[in-house]
Homo-oligomer: A and B are copies of this chain.
């Protein structure tokens, strides 16, 4: 799982963790962490889709990508002492679904790892659709099979 093999660098999204993200244990509240991960996935789309995140995908492209699954393991507390660097990679592209891996690190320490599965839908009818071909063309070269 070398981060730089494969011909392209990993995508990283930086999050400024704040006082308001923390609970009385002085670490980011657990329920904020999926939110951070989703912010990172949205930023991944913005970067790779010409500036279009979920908002523009839905309103301008009529493409929705609702989540059907998420799984996270938490390995170290997250604090405002360092920026949270979220590495995002698509790790599988099915006929009508996409799986992302998000790794969150602070100061080089892995804080959480997660996997997230979204399905592609026609936004205005909420009906399943195959991955749109322009999106498939963009995503395929970015795929990072886990363990490869």
Contacts and interface: CB of A to CB of B under 8 A. Distances in A.
Interface stretch (A3-11, A13-21, A97-105, A134-142): A13-21
Nearest to A118: B30
Contacts of A23: 19-20, 22-24, 54
The quantity of this chain's copies bound in the complex is 4
A59 interface: yes
B24 A55 contact: yes
A143 interface: no
Contacts of A69: 71-74
9 contacts: A16-B43, A20-B29, A23-B54, A25-B58, A25-B66, A30-B38, A34-B70, A67-B74, A70-B71
Interface of A: 16, 18-20, 22-27, 29-31, 34-35, 38-39, 42-43, 53-56, 58-59, 64, 66-75, 77, 79-81, 123, 126
Which 3 A/B pairs are nearest by Cβ-Cβ distance?
A19-B54, A55-B80, A31-B35
